[in-house]
Structure 1
């Protein structure tokens, strides 16, 4: 359980880092399952429905950057969505009734693993209200060198930034207003098993992994049960309700006065790219991560209350 100070910190800053929610055994199981997928990727020569491969991938030196739709790949990933400790924390930060919106597992190989360009998750999937967040579970120690998540504190209270280039949605910030925000970013550092949570409108990204090893983080996307998507509706109401994790199914969506920029139009091959943020962002010109920047200060880390 979080303290009131921790809840207030999240509300004010749009992120929080927390320890001591998952047990060593629970984290070790996720690591072992993920190790198995990394080993399986050795037999793959190009990206497919499961593996998103980085350039230079070989059987001897695999460069797996993402496991696509992990919830469909192994029951261990689906099970973590129902972890009572995680749900308790999420209810404190959000609302009593929560649905998931899927999982992502970014592995970020060492020796230059691809950056994730600056973006707001809200730009990808606006809803009827913005009670959404992403929870990250560190499957490796996250350091200054291995491409930590970079967060701009308080940016969730600011504007919804433009993610379009030449009129086309590119999944990365192109808005000139962001230039003065990047230097304020803090890295979310931590140990294996630590979790981070950031608001859907919080500006974030991650630089290349310059360490020799992988930096694996399992990301869970969560939303209030009464937050309904404005784009990409589920195939049926039953399918939507199957995403419920805790609480009562609401009778109707909740509408909030919140800024929205639709992620349209999109490239014609968007459906092919949809499970890889790296492919979604590949058209961006002039990446901020290609420019030298000041070293960010470590973000505040907080232990969960007993």
Structure 2
């Protein structure tokens, strides 16, 4: 008798995998509080794409910050947690895992901004396509909260042409958000997805915020194709070594 497919098998077949309960409910709550404390100390602008507001059909809001590990040591510890780094290594097929960047995302209650469908590849292309994202959920993310939506198997089609119309995304007429599969999650779950997987998210219509941390990572031998999207922590080794030296 065979068991359920491994996370790595699901990731390679579908382009994403939701890992349930990687963090405990208590850990998720601690990180949720830390995210909101970090954002309360900042005076950041709203990064909502113009195309996202058009998608929502009404004013929406998004709160975020880059380089979370430079704002709080709690996120530095999480980036190096072997529960995360071991999975990351298995998914990209490398013992070595290197940081690309981190972001805190909070969709405020009732009007949290959506994202049109897109591939992360379009924002920071690499040569070997090992780049992946880990989205840590620090509170529940049902569809009502604007959970991530994905197009399973879309990573197998390779890079797709994007348009710059209020953001950098796929043409909405050909790639409607409603056609993507909602990936509802609970606090403590982590969604891993390839940077070639088509994904987006809906409006948070619930009375509670949706709080996540994004960690984007890669095999250190996977070099950037363009000198774009640099971050302060880029190149940090989360697991193993960098056999090729700094990528810049």
What's the TM-score, normalizing by structure 2? 0.82
Q: Which runs of 5+ in 1 are unaligned?
A: 55-62, 254-306
Question: Matches of 2:76 and 2:227 in 1, distance apart?
Answer: 21
Matches within 5 A, 1:1-306: 4-40=5-41, 44=43, 47=44, 65-94=63-92, 95-165=94-164, 170-174=167-171, 177-178=174-175, 182=177, 184-232=179-227, 241=235, 243-251=236-244
Residues 1:137 and 1:240: Cα distance change in structure 2 (over 3 Å):
closer
SS at match of 1:93: helix
Return closer, same or farther for 1:171/1:34 CA change in 2, 3 Å cut-off.
same
Question: What is the CA distance between 1:99 and its match in structure 2?
Answer: 0.2
Contact 1:128 1:229 in 2 (8 A): yes
How many pairs are equivalent? 231
Distance of aligned partners of 1:76 and 1:177 in 2 relative to their CA distance in 1, 3 Å threshold: same
- Rounded to whole Å, the distance in 2 between the matches of 1:73 and 1:107 is 15
Q: Is the 8 A contact 2:134 2:190 kept in 1?
A: yes
Counterparts of 1:244 and 1:213 in 2: how far apart (Å)?
Answer: 35
Cα pair distance change 1:53/1:93, threshold 3 Å: closer
Pairwise CA distance, 1:90 = 1.0
**C-alpha distance in 1 between matches for 2:215 and 2:128:** 18
Q: Which has the higher contact order (CA 8 A, sep 6+)?
A: 2
Q: Secondary structure at the residue paired with 1:174? A: coil
Contact 1:14 1:198 in 2 (8 A): yes
Cα root mean square deviation, aligned: 2.9
Instruction: Verify the 8 A CA contact 2:28 2:139 in the aligned structure 1.
Output: no
Q: Which has the larger radius of gyration?
A: 1
Q: CA deviation at 1:4?
A: 4.7
Structure 2 unaligned residues grouped into runs of 5+: 50-60
